[in-house]
Amino acid sequence: MINRRLLRIKALQVLFAFYRNAGDSLSNLEKELFLSIDKSYQLYLLLLLLPETMVELAQNKIDLAKQKFRPTPEDLNPNLRFVSNRAAAILAQDNKLHEIAQDKRLNWAHFPEITKKLFTQLINSDYYHEYMAAETCSLDDDRLVLVNFFNQEILGNADFEAFLEEQSIYWNDDLEFVLSMAVKTIKKMEGDPTPRVNIMPLFRNFDDDNFAKTLLRKTVLRHKENIELIDKFTQNWEVDRIAAMDILIMEMAITEIIEFPTIPVKVSMNEYIDIAKFYSTEQSNVFVNGVLDKIIAYLKENNLIIKQGRGLIGENDEVSTDNNDAPDDENI
């Protein structure tokens, strides 16, 4: 589930805290990185448990309405479309999802305030009213109302983001990506002949696990060499006056370019320039781009960049500053 972009960001955050707090052992640093990664996966699972909770709240609302002293005809004959939502039922009945969630102690039972807010937003939305009033309802319609719920009630919801921040410091930057993975899971949910949810694994493959670990370790071990390189090509700047985040982003970029022979230089370059846009100062991406350009030219000139694999041996492409060339999620 976790892609390389998020792995780089997680490593960046852990390394930033590592250098800011005068360091720790590499083993503890690794533990912190993988704890952060696992927390992202927990958020993914937690989001997939939300539709079941929304259905439970809808059923409770129906049950309470029937208990009124003078229930209306609508109270006595409610629209059961949402409480019968097949997509939510498939999630609720998926043993694997609930086994993993139980093992990680994930549920919404202790957070009634935020779930009730989300439910109120859901039942007051236009897409919900259209769903409930439609003449027919397919599994696709059931899936779509859940997708709309995620995209319209959770994404950009300040209350929900504040809730996540209270629950875990690791979730501050995860929601948009993790939410997209939850939506993808719902869209790929299977109905007939056997209802099934394809729960994504934490890592797509062993290479991603190894990528995160190696990037973290090598960046720490290459720290002195990387700083010397950065200092060499920022002669008009004192290194201690450059933003600490800029330095770390460049350190990680240099490490990845040198230590990962199967990742194209241009991919690494574009990834870290994009990260600089969001995690450092306003002009950082331009500064980082300029310095890395010079460092990469120097490394190539001295044969310090060795790429191997199909289409990578003898890679001599000029580094592109057009980030549209960088894939959203490289599969290397």
Predicted confidence at residue 310, as pLDDT, reads 60
- Report the chain's terminal Cα–Cα distance, integer Å: 15
Enter the tokens of residue 72. 């209306």
Query: For residues 154 and 118, what is the distance between their CA atoms, to the nearest angstrom?
Result: 8
CB 65 within 8 A of CB 256: no
CB 153 within 8 A of CB 126: no
Predicted confidence at residue 42, as pLDDT, reads 97
CB 209 within 8 A of CB 34: no
Predicted confidence at residue 321, as pLDDT, reads 38
**pLDDT tens-digit series, residues 238-291:** 666 789 999 999 999 999 999 999 999 999 999 999 999 999 988 899 999 999
Query: For residues 87 and 187, what is the distance between their CA atoms, to the nearest angstrom?
Result: 9
Q: Which CATH architecture group holds 222-325?
A: Orthogonal Bundle (1.10)
Which residues is 137 bridged to in the sheet?
none
156's torsion region: left (phi>0), alpha (psi -120 to 50) or beta? left
If 0-12 CB within 10 Å is exposed, 13-18 middle and 19+ buried, where does residue 4 land?
buried
Query: For residues 201 and 183, what is the distance between their CA atoms, to the nearest angstrom?
Result: 15
Closest CA to 65 of 76, 81, 54, 79: 76
**Residue located via tokens 């998020």:** 6
Question: Would you report the helix, strand and coil content of the chain in percent, each value rounded to 5?
Answer: 65, 0, 30
Three-state DSSP state, 136: coil
Predicted confidence at residue 124, as pLDDT, reads 98
Predicted confidence at residue 204, as pLDDT, reads 87
Domain segments of the chain as ranges: 4-187, 222-325
Query: For residues 196 and 194, what is the distance between their CA atoms, to the nearest angstrom?
Result: 6
Closest CA to 294 of 253, 244, 248: 253
This prediction's pTM:
0.88
Predicted confidence at residue 162, as pLDDT, reads 96
Instruction: Point out the residues of the chain with pLDDT beneath 50.
Output: 313, 317-332
Predicted confidence at residue 311, as pLDDT, reads 53
